[in-house]
Structure 1
């Protein structure tokens, strides 16, 4: 179904996180050539080894709070590939703190990784795509938090709202070059945040999801392949929500009654 992914070159940021690994594994299995980046160099090398990356694929440790580090990454892509076909801005952080307890430097760090880095990466890689005449795909990993504030996560939510607007801005401005920009909202996946979630919290969260389960690699992977492939050639500026209905409405934790049907 997504045969056109084979041979395409894709950059995935935050490749050592749960969602990042799912995305990298999916693209690798579909035959894409990968550039994987993360701040965790040793873990990145180990993951690439487990995947069995070869050929023109490579890994590069990068600090997404540092523009020089980001440019070193995009410059290497230019040297190795000329340009990427797919950019997946997956890296993100989700610190939990009340606004009154959030230092300015923490606010800046969240926006630097969640918004500023995707802007720089999209700008630089799209410029390479334009020069090479590549009709590429930019996919930003967003969150349902972009539309619904979360207590102790206001800065994160705000950064994702801004990322959604940035996604649409790139979609409008890159359309003339045939480059598409979309957002993907994965559903709840335990372990995908910096917080350690208790088993009780995970059970309670899953119990409120209409489809009754957490997100899986297949859920995220299929949605990612759709947005990266020619199957979505007329889709840009959109947000694809793959969350089991969680953003449509959550179920009550205590359900004593079922439908009469």
Structure 2
């Protein structure tokens, strides 16, 4: 077995971060938080005009070195060549964030093989290809790195119209763990962040307000924002988490823990439930 390699960023120069799905939403927020920290950012998306606008704003705001790559990661060759394309002299990639994803609403009875395969290709297969390419580059250059995948609460909780999406995110979480096991000896950490409902106003993946209201009920009482997720990604990619790999961090306002949307299933104790107890008021509550 190979000896573990250094997994942190090298102190003599800024980290180089590659972010897929970077044109808007969570991906754009991840690009911004790394740019704010002084990292070099390679922003990747298939929507060229939107990506160019987002990158321009980052350069204007932070004066950061931001590079854009317009590509469709469903293309096997494009995904496999992404890390090599992003790298250059003195620009080894230190962090890969797989944020690209789609979630078309399609009831199971209307599902087609083409729709199913497209979601799997974007949400899982592309992340596998980019992660393998990143790991190979890390091994070749002799330093470690960090991968953070963007999962979803849908990985553990099914919902109507999302059989393909939920399955893809469950697969992405197992891919995260599998990569962590195989790549850990090479100094490459692989983790995932699982957001709850996040307000992104995405033209690529729109949702109705009715859906947003239903899915965003959580113990902390608010919807997530892209920066909530970006901060978690930044932490998981850095030195403070350098003994964490194969983890799925739920950043969801407590949605996975449970819901505040349900009333008490019964207002008090029945005679059977109260048997053997003393000093319990009839309504089941103490004063």
Return the offset for 1:102. 1.2
TM-aligned CA distance change 1:234 to 1:4, over 3 Å: same
Indicate whether 1:22 and 2:29 are aligned.
yes
- Calculate the aligned-residue CA RMSD, in Å: 2.6
Indicate whether 1:222 and 2:231 are aligned.
yes
| Secondary structure of 1:110's aligned partner | helix
The C-alpha deviation readout for 1:3-29, integer Å capped at 9, x for no partner, is 989710000000013111111111110
Structure whose alpha-carbon radius of gyration is higher: 2
Number of residue pairs the alignment of both structures matches: 257
Q: Which moved more, 1:115-124 or 1:96-105?
A: 96-105
For residue 211 of structure 1, what is the aligned residue in structure 2? 220
Listed as ranges, the gaps of 5+ residues in structure 2 are 1-7, 268-284
TM-aligned CA distance change 1:55 to 1:252, over 3 Å: closer
| Secondary structure of 1:64's aligned partner | coil
TM-score (norm 2): 0.82
Return the offset for 1:105. 1.0
Q: Which moved more, 1:129-138 or 1:48-57?
A: 48-57
Does the CA contact (< 8 Å) of 1:191 and 1:197 recur in 2? no
Does the CA contact (< 8 Å) of 2:200 and 2:225 recur in 1? no
Return the offset for 1:155. 0.8
For residue 45 of structure 1, what is the aligned residue in structure 2? 52
Say which structure is richer in helix.
Answer: 1
For residue 190 of structure 1, what is the aligned residue in structure 2? 199
TM-aligned CA distance change 1:3 to 1:74, over 3 Å: closer
Return the offset for 1:260. 9.0
Return the offset for 1:254. 7.2
In the aligned structure 1, how far is the partner of 2:54 from the partner of 2:223? 23
Indicate whether 1:103 and 2:112 are aligned.
yes
Return the offset for 1:82. 5.3
- Which of the numbers 126, 132, 149 marks the counterpart of 1:140? 149
Does the CA contact (< 8 Å) of 1:182 and 1:227 recur in 2? yes
Does the CA contact (< 8 Å) of 2:51 and 2:68 recur in 1? yes
Return the offset for 1:135. 1.7
In the aligned structure 2, how far is the partner of 1:73 from the partner of 1:180? 19
For residue 125 of structure 2, what is the aligned residue in structure 1? 116
Does the CA contact (< 8 Å) of 2:96 and 2:131 recur in 1? yes
TM-score (norm 1): 0.89
Q: Which moved more, 1:195-204 or 1:5-14?
A: 195-204
Does the CA contact (< 8 Å) of 1:36 and 1:59 recur in 2? yes
